[in-house]
Chains A and B, each alone.
Chain A
Amino acid sequence: MQYNWHWKVLLETEPGGTGTYLQYLIVGLGWTLATALVAWVLALAIGAVVGTLRTTSLKWAVRAGNLYVEIFRNVPLIVQMFLWFFVVPELLPQAIGDWIKQMPPPWGSYVPAVMCLAIFTSVRVAEQLRAGINSLPRGQRLAGIATGLTEAQAYRHVILPQAFRIVLPPLTSEFMNIIKNSSVALTIGLLELTGRARAMQEFSFRVFEAFATATVIYLLTNLIVVLAMRALEKKVRVPGLIAAQAGH
């Protein structure tokens, strides 16, 4: 293998003149996290509503929830990205569409990317939450109703507080997925970490230095997320369940 490593390239100035290549990549990580975090908050909110509705006794809500989940689960992420970026502005009323298309960069890519990742991930959150709710003993809901709570109150005070604590560990891996999936936003022009590694490779011709640095940054990010989530999981563990004793 003949490849002359030239790690000093990381300290050279990138063509945009905003700093070194290393700084350029770290700003990319900032965009990755900014995209993933905002999309994650939205995904949790939408996913919680859809996942809950799919377990209720409302038939229309269950059907609408199922339709939502099937649509956004069976179309590839990059295609959904293109739909949000190219197609949605065309289908909206012209004034709003034009306003979206004229958003200055990077917001013109950032907003569609966040919307896309939020909806894409909300489906997975909804599935996890539905599984969590269904894993509760039926007696919990029945006892809630028997003590005079309405269905909504039973959800609010009995079912959801338990379900959320049960689904937290599987949601951790969804959060890691949203960080990884945000790299697909480079196809609509968002310069997040992978996009910037690609750009660095094109400017400097240092292929493997660029991708190796991005790889290390992703691994470190993963490590931090895993440690943080593990601490959080310990905090919200439901006492008395098997998971509480097994430790994961």
Chain B
Amino acid sequence: MSTDVLNLNLRVWRQAGPNATGGFKTYRLNGVSTHMSFLEMLDVLNEQLIAQSEEPVEFDHDCREGICGMCSLMINGQAHGPDNATTTCQLHMRRFKDGDTITIEPWRAAAFPVVRDLVVDRSAFDRIIQAGGFVSINTGNAPDGNAIPVPGVKQEVAMDGAACIGCGACVAACKNASAMLFVSAKVSQLAILPQGHPERNTRVINMVAQMDKEGFGSCTNTSECEAACPAEVSVAHIARLNREYLRASIFAEA
């Protein structure tokens, strides 16, 4: 059973508050089961820190099954760790070797200020969604699901965009801290579906404006976001956003 246990060095970013100066602190954590998830490993670290009367490491998490988008973490320079198409909570310690040093950092972006330790404020994403990432239904009952026909292929492409969980890994991985993959996933999803059509022009203009206002970078088509995305959102959505933006800028009535 000894092979199922890891002794690790954890190099963790510690920062007492938004305006405090942060820095790395290294902790030794022994006896980590390879069956643990990465977040469970951090739980164990925090138990150890609390036992030593130290402040536990703050990190974001919620569902721990890869759908809520709350967990984050830059693990050894990879958003959500080394695996493709997974979130940090889905990463298991069997992915690491005994004696490894693991560097854990928060997402780094001007638009995602550090709240404490590994927790960043991602409400910039909420404000972008509030700027246009919705379909207005102002009155009446919910319409019948089958009243508006949507071809199967379109449903699939829209769903590929809707798969975005809003975790911010795209921003974290992008060398420009650009939010284009996130914004494009929502713009694209709603532009494809008939329900999104009435507001498609104002949506793209307003969401891009809010994205810029929040201070995200611009897209250099490096595709680092696509590689880092736990929901496998494709940069084809970014191309669709660009089309929507051009279309709306030139032809929109208002």
Does B associate with A? Answer: no
